[in-house]
Amino acid sequence: RFQAYVYFASVFQAMSCGIHYLASVFMAVTPNFVCGVPGNVSSALFYNSSESSIEDIWTLWTSAENYIVVQLENGEIWELNQCSRSKREVSGDLAYEYKGNRSVFSCSDGFLYDDTKWKSTVVTQWDLVCDREWLAKLIQPTFMLGVLIGAVIFGDIADRLGRQRVIWFTSTGQFAFGIAVAFSFDYYSFVIVRFLLAMVSSGYLVVAFVYVTEFVGIKARTWASMHVHAFFAMGIMVVALVGFLARTWWVYQIFLSIATLPFVLCCWMLPETPFWLLSEEKYEDAQKVINTMARWNRVSTPCKVSELCSVQQDDLVSGGAGDNDTASAKKHNILDLFCNWHIARRTITVWLIWFTGSLGYYVFSLSSVSLGGNEYLNLFLIGAVELPCYIIACIAMDKLGRRNTLIPFLILSALICVLIMFIPQDFNILIILANMAGKFSIGVAFGLIYLYTAELYPTIVRTLAVGSGSMMCRVGSVVAPFCVYLRDIWIFMPLLLVGIMALLSGILTIMLPETLGKPLTNTLVEATEMGRNKRSSSEKIPPAHSGATLDKIEMFGQETVSTEK
């Protein structure tokens, strides 16, 4: 019961990470717009439709290449385009077609926006269109850059100061910075506060994974860690719901920020993990936490820290060679991931899978609002499809194997990307279903790569391998928004790039060894042999020795999965 309380309390706040990661899909949307006019409009004309105001024209607007003809109260006739306006030299009858002379002017009087869907967005608030459009396109990449930096900083701080303090600070920071975003006074303050919000959101996700895995038992650890992603996906679904209800960006941001306020109010009740307390030699505090766990779980004879410490000391005395291994492990650097051709090829493939998984995850998520139909329902479904995704991943990776699960789902995601290109654009339902299938398949691959990476490398460089892979994942999340913007060049360009990367990753994964049921390797020689031989490496590595390592790495592997998002 105690572990369940800690787990669900911690992962509940993970929803806020999913919320803030995808909040920009509605907050930074660009509605239809045209140049403003230097006066009051008496009538407006769009092709053959004449209206008394421009607001009535938006329902007829079909393309950015369209323009609106307006007549002012002083008799002047203007043609309004998106990034320029022209005044007709001859003011005669109001007609859409005109072959006379025009005087072209810039949009010095601001812009007129279509507010039928969104009353206000950050784009309309600060006119982030035309020559300032690039500022709008930097909103999501700068957020993802904050995610990258926050994961590194808070992961290190959690090891130094403890998980509990960082969880309290980052969860409180998410609420505080989330509210502060809504009250930004200009674009630059908005981006800076969002950057800080990204850092604490990423930091929370990193530390929350470590926190729950240090409380959850080994048997449930894989399922528990994988389903933290499910709560992240629920955050995406909350974004869709709040976006539907609140059409003003700052109101929308406030509602998103207070969605997980209950956790902020009670997070101070969460205890520090016994693992960290023991590592810092705070034995009395560790014993208090263990006694609390025993009371909650109705255990009459709780574990004694003094007994654990005595066993540890015996292990240290009898396992001097282990100390030498630990010391030598610290001397290794990232070049050891390229020590020979087999390991180098494995590293390149693993990095590519991390990058592709992150790229595909965010391309499908960010593109969902542009699929046609109801954009709120689209995003909700894209989030909901992740819930069964992680269940399938957990079952398949234990039944079929890591590689045998990864290959078909990577190739399937590539095939789905190609399939979407051949679906007619007016088949909205079919397009949405295909995108959901693509998100599902890339999600399965994305969910299991962290554990597979930990199993592919020996103990001496395992930390480097998983850490470097997670960095490639963050690079993918920074690149993904720019990839989505390529829709302006060709509507299928993002899918084409994801499809090529997924296909290449799937083909290269064939050359990776299967790790299901095999002991973990301890040296680079053993890891290389695992790739060469199809025989089980259990003949060379004593199961008891590798089993102890497995428990440690299982713990570490769960810590690192947080960097995926």
Q: What does the H/E/C string look like for 32-48?
A: CEEECCCCCEEEEEECC
CA dist., res. 355 & res. 363, Å (int): 12
Q: Which residues of the chain have pLDDT under 50?
A: 313, 315-330, 534-564
Single-letter amino acid, residue 484: V
Q: How far is C-alpha 450 from the chain's CA centre? A: 15
Nearest to 523 by CA among 321, 355, 384, 376: 321
Asked if residue 167 lies in contact with residue 204, where contact means CB atoms within 8 angstroms, the answer is yes
**Helix axis angle, 228-245 to 386-399, nearest 10°:** 160
Domain 334-529: give its CATH code.
1.20.1250.20
Which helix (H) or strand (E) segment is 50 a member of?
strand 49-51
Pairing state between β 68-72 and 49-51: unpaired
HSE, side-chain direction, 13 A CA sphere, residue 367:
30
Any idea where the domains of the chain sit in the sequence?
Answer: 1-31+124-270, 33-116, 334-529
- The architecture CATH gives domain 1-31+124-270: Up-down Bundle (1.20)
3-state secondary structure of 44: strand
SS3 content of the chain, % helix, strand, coil (to 5): 70, 5, 25
Backbone phi, psi, residue 68, to 5°? -115, 135
pLDDT of res. 397: 83
Report the first-to-last Cα separation within the chain, whole angstroms. 28
pLDDT of res. 309: 65
3-state secondary structure of 280: coil
pLDDT of res. 472: 86
Asked if residue 15 lies in contact with residue 234, where contact means CB atoms within 8 angstroms, the answer is yes
Q: Determine the longest span between alpha carbons in the chain, in angstroms.
A: 100
Nearest to 450 by CA among 527, 332, 562: 562
Does 1-31+124-270 match 334-529 in CATH topology? yes
pLDDT, tens digit, 9 for 90 and up, residues 427-480: 888 999 999 999 999 988 887 887 788 778 876 776 667 777 778 888 888 899
User: Alpha-carbon dihedral of residues 327, 153, 21, 6, nearest 10 degrees?
Assistant: 70
pLDDT of res. 555: 40
pLDDT of res. 308: 66
Query: Nearest-5° angle of CA 453, CA 454, CA 458?
Result: 110
Asked if residue 169 lies in contact with residue 200, where contact means CB atoms within 8 angstroms, the answer is yes
DSSP state of 520: P
Single-letter amino acid, residue 274: P
3-class SS letters over 87-133: EECCCCCCCCCCCCCEEEECCCCCEEECCCCCCECHHHHHCCCHHHH
DSSP state of 83: S
